[in-house]
A and B are shown apart, each in its own frame.
Chain A
Amino acid sequence: MAAKKTPKQADDILYIGIDLGTSRSAIATSSGKKKWVESYVGWPRDFIARKLLKKDILFGEDALNNRLSVELVRPLERGVIRDGTPRDLEAVRALIHHLIDLVGAGRGQKIYAAVGVPAEALKVNKLAIRDAVKEYADTLMVVSEPFAVAYSLGALNNAMVIDVGAGTVDFCVMHGTMPGEEDQRTLVTAGDYVDRQLYEMLAQRYPTARFGETLVRQFKESYGFVGKANGKVQVKVPVEGKFTPHDITQELKAACESLLPPIAETVIDLIARYEPDFQERVRKNLYLAGGGSQIKGIAEALEEALAEYGPYKVTTVDDPLYAGAEGALALAQDMPEEYWENM
């Protein structure tokens, strides 16, 4: 796959690939380390919380678990810095710093970073991401997330990558050259949208039960499915203080399936722009990545939804959590030195 750098370069320079996701962010390095973290940052609300938590800042699951004691920020929305407020920017910087700390960048090593951003991220979004990363990296580039996934797969031609994230679903058609704006698309009906749908349906069916946002997301991640159900999905949720079992099978199925129509529609719309013979080849090479690709049965259901337009072959990538970060890393490692120097 990627042409590796010489050992000397590998010692001097640490290449890193980062996938900054709305829900989870991942990092992979040329030294072989990989880490991920929930994209949450929390600052203790007051000195009591600080004393209790013994930290000035919390990240990921730690921040989420202590959400009542911290000012919790999820700084990335739809894959880009949410409001551009100083707090959001500070949270993104802290998150990136935390990721780089997790992989333990060695002293004296230069850091060359490639960072994945949503396919249709605007220039200002990319600049904001660059601003947030640049103080921790000696040089950096931003790349479209689905393109990074395609690169990691080696799917550079006759393929389409669909990265189903929490904030966005990103599409990228690969035709042997650098994908342009017209080859990429972003939808905002993604994982968070499914969570909202599920929350509303459950709140309507079980008005006395306490379904929180975090709980609903956990249900989706643990039991999410489309198509035929393999038995009931029962979860325990507090009702007037007592944990009570609730059947959420139909709601979970309906919420997860709400992803399919916009994805199918976008696939058809994107593919229709190309020559018929190219369309034919791309149909056999659709790849699903991102957390949403872990919804049970989603690849088969998408094939079914697309069936009326011809036979499609949809494959789920092996390691969706790290596919974006590893793709960005592969790009970083393959990038000629003179390109890095000029950044």
Chain B
Amino acid sequence: MKLDLGTRASRQDILRGVYEDNLRIVNKRVEAARGRSRRARWGLRATLLLAGVLVAAAGFQVWQEIQAKQPAEAGALATLGDPEAAAERMAREFGSPDDPGLAAEVPIANLFNLQVRTIVIDPGHGGEDPGALGPQGTREKDVTLDVARRLRRRLERRGLRVLMTREDDRKVSLRRRVAFANEHEADLFISLHVNALPAEGVTSVETYYFGLQADAQAMHLARLENQDSDFSMADFRESLEKIGDTMKFQESKLLASSIQRTLYRNMRRVNSQVSDWGVRRGPFVVLLGVQVPSVLAEMAVISNRAEEAKLNTPQHREHLAMSLEAGILGYLHPDTSESTQRATEHGSQKDP
């Protein structure tokens, strides 16, 4: 059957496209196809680096000022200051970290050719803390532990050192989880959770990185996830002092974007009703204390009866692990991952 044949030129383009697509799969650079000179790339890198350093320095200064003005009150992190005003001031004076003109679109690890060697996976909850419960009694702590084990197996096959904050059903305080990641010199930190929502029938995927400028829903979720944190107010202050490390937040955002994109795309394949709640900021202490790019993924909604049934199947848990793996690889190799080339159909960036 011969049909509408393309021109010779388009056939050659297509063959080249297949070739380049395969190079991306095996993580080889498509130098000739980039259409960007080496000098231009180095110029871009230098600009990004300079911008990153400026933003980091600015962030540190502003947060020191904010801290000096704020009373040390106990309670939710959001009461530590007026984050919107601080962010506005920071943006006015130094440019917002989210300003596309300043935000680094390339992971720092890649920019400096740094190797990501150790990934710490944090299965949420455990022991006497079951986390969220499904209508049939499925416990969040069991789902997160199983998905974490599957994710570890997958990442280890890629030669990465993977550690878990808990290996079995035991309670580990948030403070201990943070310390574990820092003690083991983690390069990335991924906290796994599943959500429970009051509205029946809703199912969603969302990924968080640390930020005080959170919406009401993120604040509510953070309060739940921050329970029994075992952190003191002094710890908060110490951690907030480190918040000047804007680089970490930019990196966390990139990691969160990549994970959200692959999680949503894959979950949509098995459930067309799943909502993309995007990449969000939230004041999760487990993300604040870790010194490297860190995210918290709410992979599914356990309060949804159908979703709960799926979460009880090994296939679905493996699917979740595979999607997380793809997101991590997408972050580590942005030049070569198709998953990070385009936004999802419904958009993944929903920062407040």
Contacts and interface: CB of A to CB of B under 8 A. Distances in A.
Interface of A: 1, 77-78, 82-84, 120, 122-127, 130, 141-143, 151, 153-159, 176-178, 181-182, 186, 188, 285, 317-318, 331, 334-336, 339, 342-343
Interface residues of B, number: 43
Nearest to A143: B18
Given A124-B322, A334-B15, A84 B154 contact: yes
A285 B2 contact: no
Given A156-B6, A177-B17, A339-B15, A317 B342 contact: no
B330 A123 contact: yes
Contacts of B23: 342-343
B322 A334 contact: no
A176 B6 contact: yes
B314 interface: yes
Contact of B4 (A84, A124, A159, A177): A159
B269 interface: yes
A156 B4 contact: yes
A317 B3 CA distance: 11
A290 to B, nearest CB: 15
B6 A343 contact: no
Contacts of A335: 15, 18-19
B4 A142 contact: no
Nearest to A141: B22
A274 to B, nearest CB: 15
Among B10, B262, B270, B329, which residue has the most Cβ atoms of chain A within 10 A? B10
A123 B329 contact: yes
A188 to B, nearest CB: 6
Interface of B: 1-7, 10-11, 13-19, 21-26, 28, 154, 262, 265-266, 269-270, 314-315, 318, 322-323, 325-326, 329-330, 337-339, 341-342
Contact of B338 (A123, A141, A143, A334): A123
Contacts of B11: 156, 334
A188 B316 CA distance: 14
Contact of A182 (B10, B18, B329, B342): B342
Nearest to A2: B11
Nearest to A122: B326
B25 A178 contact: no
A101 to B, nearest CB: 25
A157 B18 contact: no
A155 B3 contact: yes
B17 A127 contact: no
Contacts of A155: 3-4
Nearest to A269: B345
